[in-house]
Structure 1
Amino acid sequence: REIQRGYLGVGLQPIDEDFAASLGLPKRRGELVQTVQDDSPAARAGLKPGDIVTKVNGKDVTGEQTVSFLVANMEPGAQVPVELLRDGKRLALNVTLGKRPSEAELQQQTQTFDPDSEEPMAPGASNETIEQKLGLQVMPMTAAIARSLGVPAETQGVVIAAVDPNADAARKGLRRGDIVLSANYQAVASVEALAEQVKAAATEGREAILLRVQRRTQPPAFFPIRLR
């Protein structure tokens, strides 16, 4: 049977000498919360970036006994007391642990997305239909990418990762970081959904597809993109 490991949903950093000096704390004690995943067990319990976790389930957090180690050795669904320092005050929160996601899911949650970096097309890195027909490489929207783009975490769509400079999409001004919300008036909340619409348009003999695209926090706009 698969071992189920507990999960908090925080990004942590050990308290080294410099952190300890800046916070007036003993070093090698506790871990600083750098990030809290949206809708994670930690977020639901009220943990915030800047909190210093000092104890989990009554055990001291140290360099050897990290928060991740303590939490991973408990079952999902367990109610765990977490002691922390916030603005110099001691707090105790009860956290109901979640189930640790797979490594691939964790990587997707923490991936950062720089919309301004010049990423060339990497052949075969994305959906083949979308790549061939539209000259676009797209990726699923995640809460981390939404944060990078400054849009709400619940935004539904697919994110353009790269544009073929020879494609009509490039001529129409589409670029990395744009969010495709719909294709031919059908919402596309996944890469597969966009690929289905592209296939349907090609099967019907259409020469172009109408994409509704949002750029950062600007209002969405419609773009007719020619199929190749």
Structure 2
Amino acid sequence: MAKDVVDQLLSQGYVSRGYLGMVPTELDPLKREALGLDKKEQGIFVESVQKDTPADEGGLRASDVIVEVDGQPVSDVTDFRLRVARHKPGEKLTLTVLRKGKRVKLDFTLADRADYVTVASNGQPAVGGPEWMGIRVASLSSPQARRMEIEVDHGVLVTDVATDSPADGKLQPGDVIVRVDDGDITSISDWQEVTGRLGDTDKAVLIMFYRQGKGSSRFVAIKK
């Protein structure tokens, strides 16, 4: 890869590397438990997928677990990034992912990072709601939300996290929750339905959220 970098610098004055458009993170024990993965299973967790990028267009989804790049096992995030960085814009890349217990192969054509910019969206209203796992939420049209510069257009606003609750230290007021377990959260009705179904589960649960309603989505696993 070093020779390729030198060649690009000499020919065009900068280094151009393939861009996928996703955020990878390591698989921690709670995520493994929530996804039902064996401790020996190697791979990385897809934290988020940016809209209209090669990752999005190729079918990669948030919460997928990438286990292979071009048919070779992936051990961690650093390994994954190095493998992707070996490809130039326009080149093909194949990922093998674990999705709901099944292996799925996905093909991508990498882009150039310079062609992509982050676009923010405006908040749309939701409705207020109850507490679950120490998390209290309100609508995106509530007074609290209107005082914030929230960029996501759906979900529920975290207004309080109880001390010593399962969510303490993992979520904070101002976060916007958009998915709990396998249920999308677009309103308080969704929040009530999904959390009501889960109840006081003793299993680890994945929550997808935006920190302070901005940037890329994140995941956290909580357990009672």
Larger relative contact order (Cα-Cα within 8 Å, sequence gap ≥ 6): 2
TM range (shorter): 0.3 to 0.5
Answer with 1 or 2: which has the greater Rg. Answer: 1
What is the TM-score of this pair, normalised by structure 1? 0.45
What is the TM-score of this pair, normalised by structure 2? 0.46
